[in-house]
């Protein structure tokens, strides 16, 4: 498949780039996307929620009232979950939510997500560019020229550009990442996906 290259000013460069059909034109697998995103979100969970149970409460173990004759239920300890300040029954404990998915499934999910972007015509490929200085206004100007300033956009670059990363850091609804960090979750979450020309070759090696 051939796609027209654009410049950072939003105009066509006059050149085309061939992108592999095996990555950008497959039949999307929704279940693979679901499993990969579910795995990604589970791995983001800290799992540090914790409450004190009955045995962890600091307090007297003295029987707080006599067994019979009070007209109320018997009670043996102030640490009982029935009393204020007592331990909690079946409360959350620290746990690891991390899971794994098959590498082939993850690759299929990414290809499916990229194919969706092509079908939705929300994929843009830019000529290689580099920031000579940290300039947020310049990055916002690029978003304006590409008409994506009010949309969630995700840029994937082939080579690290610290100036570009820092220039985009404080811009809402937009992020810049290295193509090596590509994930199904990020692709699906974005409204517009922008790839640089040099990221395509690296993408081929990642997904093939």
Q: Which two tokens stand for residue 59?
A: 């307090």
Domain count, the chain: 2
Residue 76 and residue 59 share a domain:
yes
Residue 41 and residue 55 share a domain:
no
Residue 144 and residue 57 share a domain:
no
Percent of the chain scoring above 90 in pLDDT: 76
Percent of the chain scoring above 70 in pLDDT: 100
- Give residue-wise pLDDT tens across range 122-159: 999 999 998 999 999 999 999 999 999 989 999 999 98
| pLDDT band for position 62 (cuts 50, 70, 90) | confident
Residue 111 and residue 17 share a domain:
yes
Average pLDDT over residues 151-176: 92
Residues pairing with 157 in the sheet: 178
Residue 151 and residue 194 share a domain:
yes
Residue 81 and residue 11 share a domain:
no
Q: In whole angstroms, what is the distance from residue 143 CA to residue 145 CA?
A: 6
Query: 192-196 and 123-126: which strand pairing?
Result: parallel
**Backbone dihedral region of 138: left (phi > 0), alpha (psi from -120 to 50 degrees) or beta?**
alpha
Q: What is the pLDDT of residue 60?
A: 85
* In the chain, alpha helices (H): 21-24, 30-43, 103-119, 136-145, 162-168, 184-189, 197-207
Tell me if 88 sits within 8 A of 52, measured CB to CB.
yes
Residue 65 and residue 42 share a domain:
no
Tell me if 191 sits within 8 A of 121, measured CB to CB.
no
Q: What is the pLDDT of residue 59?
A: 85
The residue segments making up the domain with residue 68 are 51-91
- Give residue-wise pLDDT tens across range 15-52: 889 999 999 999 999 999 999 999 999 999 999 999 99
- Give residue-wise pLDDT tens across range 91-120: 999 999 998 999 999 999 999 999 999 999
| pLDDT band for position 201 (cuts 50, 70, 90) | confident
Residue 160 and residue 59 share a domain:
no
Tell me if 173 sits within 8 A of 151, measured CB to CB.
yes
Residue 191 and residue 153 share a domain:
yes
User: What does R_g of the chain's alpha carbons equal in angstroms?
Assistant: 27
């Amino acid at each position: 498949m051939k796609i027209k290259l654009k410049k950072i000013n939003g105009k066509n460069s006059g050149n085309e780039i061939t992108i592999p059909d095996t990555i950008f034109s497959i039949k999307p697998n929704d279940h693979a996307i679901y499993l990969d995103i579910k795995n990604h979100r589970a791995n983001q969970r800290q799992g540090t929620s914790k409450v004190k149970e009955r045995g962890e409460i600091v307090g007297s173990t003295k029987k707080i009232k006599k067994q019979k004759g009070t007209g109320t239920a018997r009670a043996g300890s102030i640490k009982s979950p029935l009393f204020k300040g007592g331990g909690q029954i079946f409360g959350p404990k620290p746990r690891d939510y991390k899971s794994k998915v098959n590498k082939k499934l993850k690759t299929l999910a990414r290809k499916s997500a990229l194919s969706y972007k092509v079908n939705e015509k929300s994929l843009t490929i830019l000529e290689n560019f580099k920031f000579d200085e940290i300039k947020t206004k310049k990055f916002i100007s690029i978003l304006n020229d590409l008409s994506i300033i009010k949309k969630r956009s995700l840029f994937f670059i082939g080579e690290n550009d610290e100036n570009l990363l820092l220039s985009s850091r404080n811009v809402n609804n937009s992020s810049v990442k290295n193509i090596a960090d590509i994930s199904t979750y990020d692709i699906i979450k974005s409204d517009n996906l922008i790839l640089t020309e040099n990221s395509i070759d690296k993408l081929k090696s990642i997904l093939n």
